[in-house]
Amino acid sequence: MEIIISFLSEWGYLALFICMVLENMNVPIPSEIILGFAGFLVSQDIFSFWPTVVIGTTAGIAGSVISYYMGAKGGRDMILKHTAKGGLGAKKMIAAKDWFENYGAIAVFTGRLLPGVRTFISLPAGIAQFPLPEFVLLTILGTVPWTIFLVYVGSALGHNWTLLLDYKWKIAAVCVAVSAVIAGGYYIYHKRESK
């Protein structure tokens, strides 16, 4: 955590961009630390709120697209190669693609709201070749509220911004509940439309 804080303190918005790109490329850097501390810097008038949100969101989208391409270009071939011996590789890939065609949109959107899941949804989306324009749109819709929330709370807490880390499981529980409601509503709607 100290390394991230030091990096953000010394390099400002550039460090924010780099950290958020890496986080969304599946590097284990919690966004609660990055954006929470960025929010603290907003409270100290070092960062400004909306530029922080825009940079954090843009970096998150950039990292997600890179992760998506890693899945689309490398992950798919790697999985097929390693599962070819059992003869199930192609079938599994087709099944994953079919699942993403039916439920990928809600998986990408709700996945963006879930700590621990939000950065990893890009890779399987790329592997399943989920449509890139739709992926980017859903990534934006899911990333914006998460970024605004963490920057705002970090700013509101000021010097106590690390409380975000103490309450991360409660935040995660709320996110899971919200995502479950959204996913449930989408599933019911999808089933009715397919009849």
**How would residue 56 be classed by pLDDT, with cut points 50, 70 and 90?**
very high
Closest among 177, 165, 117 to 142, alpha carbons compared: 117
User: pLDDT digits over 105-163, tens only?
Assistant: 777 777 777 666 677 788 888 888 889 999 999 899 888 988 999 999 999 999 999 98
pTM: 0.79
Closest among 170, 166, 163, 169 to 37, alpha carbons compared: 163
User: pLDDT digits over 159-178, tens only?
Assistant: 999 988 776 666 666 666 66
